[in-house]
Copies of this chain bind each other. A is one copy, B any other.
């Protein structure tokens, strides 16, 4: 494994261990490498909206989590500035969603990331785009 990819994995695991949301939502990291992360989450009853489908907020949250791991992958503290999401199809109770984040471009302190959310059977659920900003400092050394 490339050193940069091993670092990305450590950062993602540290973030997941530290955050309140990941364990609550049972986020699992499938893969994390430089500028890339793929995570999964199962849709539970407490994630459904008033139409009995997965709440848009939870689909966004999963995508945003993958985005966060990808944009922090070089162990430089980086935050989301902006994100956009298109909801393509509803997700249902019990389905497992996979969010795959890929870096599109970085310029200066800004970065653009594309995240696809699909069911683990490959059905398209949402497309997310995130704009990040590096704010300085290490993720791993922040204890």
- Kindly state the separation between the CA atoms of A34 and B50 in the bound complex, as whole angstroms: 18
Q: Are B55 and A57 in contact (CB under 8 A)?
A: no
Q: Nearest CB to that of A24 among chain B residues? A: B46
Q: Are A89 and B107 in contact (CB under 8 A)?
A: yes
By a CB distance below 8 angstroms, the chain B residues around A86 are: 81-82, 110, 112, 129, 131
By a CB distance below 8 angstroms, the chain B residues around A50 are: 14-16, 18-19, 22, 68, 72, 139
We find that the number of chain A residues with CB closer than 8 angstroms to chain B is: 56
Q: Nearest CB to that of A45 among chain B residues? A: B20
Give residues 72-101 of A contacting B (CB, 8 Å): 72, 77, 79-90
Report A's interface with B, CB cutoff 8 A. Answer: 14-16, 18-22, 24, 44-52, 55-58, 60-62, 64-65, 68, 72, 77, 79-90, 104-108, 110, 112, 114, 116, 124, 127, 129, 131, 139
With A20-B45, A57-B60 known, 18 other A-B pairs at CB within 8 A are A15-B49, A20-B55, A21-B47, A21-B55, A50-B72, A56-B83, A57-B62, A61-B61, A79-B87, A82-B82, A83-B84, A83-B85, A84-B85, A84-B129, A104-B114, A104-B124, A105-B124, A129-B129
